[in-house]
Amino acid sequence: MNLIIDVGNTRIKTAVFEDSKCIHNESITKESFISEAVAIIKKYECTNAIISSVGSVNKSQIAELRAEINLIELDYNTKVPFVNQYATPKTLGVDRIALVSSAIASYPNKSVLIIDAGTCITYDFLNYEGKYYGGAISPGLQMRYKALNVFTEKLPLLKPSEIVELVGNTTEKSIHSGVINGIINEIDGIINQYRKKNADLTVVLTGGDVNFLSNKLKNGIFANPNFLFEGLNTILTYNIK
């Protein structure tokens, strides 16, 4: 069994894989990270693990995990199943590395655009030859709402609304229109730009806001909330063969 640990900006997510199948996933708290991870290791008899961290994990916690299991700490030096053409590989986020690994495993010999709608929205492009070139990073859904509140004097902090009108006739409705219609048009527009250059393009949407956004897009996409987990498991398996 493989243990997958994804340390994000706001929470720690874990998953257990048997070969390529996810048999368990849960979020755990940063305060009890080690004890809860060890409990999962023992319960599922995990023998190998990988940790991807865009948030903070200290060296002592990594050492505690290593004492319990064979652990890979994902970074730019980790062996991956794609050709990395990114100009600054040392700065490439580990979450993006995992997503591209998932794309090449799930869609071999295909051009793939991976859109991760989380704290930020990341766009990553893998061509049919298995070469990764990069993509884009923009503010995520919650970040856009917070920015309007923080950088203005009077605009309120709102939560996303399922009902959005193009013309907002109140301040709150205007914020919802600007944020949600803006993000949808951004995603659809970027997909359209990639499709003009890649006729066979496969588009995958993942991340924390995948369920909120997927049915609002005009473009056809594959929605997969576990795409990052699958990529981390791909990297782990690739390194322990």
**86-130 tens-digit pLDDT:** 999 999 999 999 999 999 999 999 999 999 999 999 999 999 999
Report, as an integer, the average pLDDT of 65-78.
94
- What residue spans define the domains of the chain? 2-73, 83-227
Active-site residue, selected from the candidate residues 95, 116, 124, 209: 95
What residue type is 46 in one-letter code?
Answer: C
Fold of the CATH domain 83-227: Nucleotidyltransferase; domain 5 (3.30.420)
Distance CA 168, CA 139 (A): 22
Domains 2-73 and 83-227 share a fold: yes
The verdict on whether 95 is a catalytic residue reads yes
Cα 10-48-107 angle, rounded to 5 deg: 75
**18-60 tens-digit pLDDT:** 999 999 999 988 888 899 999 999 999 999 999 998 767 788 8
Q: What phi, psi does 234 have (nearest 5°)?
A: -60, -45
Closest by Cα among 241, 187, 206, 227 to 4: 227
Q: Give 9's pLDDT tier (boundaries 50, 70, 90).
A: low
Looking at domain 2-73, does it have CATH number 3.30.420.40?
A: yes
- Whole-structure pTM value: 0.91
Please enumerate in sequence order all residues whose Cβ is within 8 A of that of 148, keeping only pairs 6 or more positions apart, or say none.
Answer: 155, 157, 175, 178, 179
Q: Give 2's pLDDT tier (boundaries 50, 70, 90).
A: very high
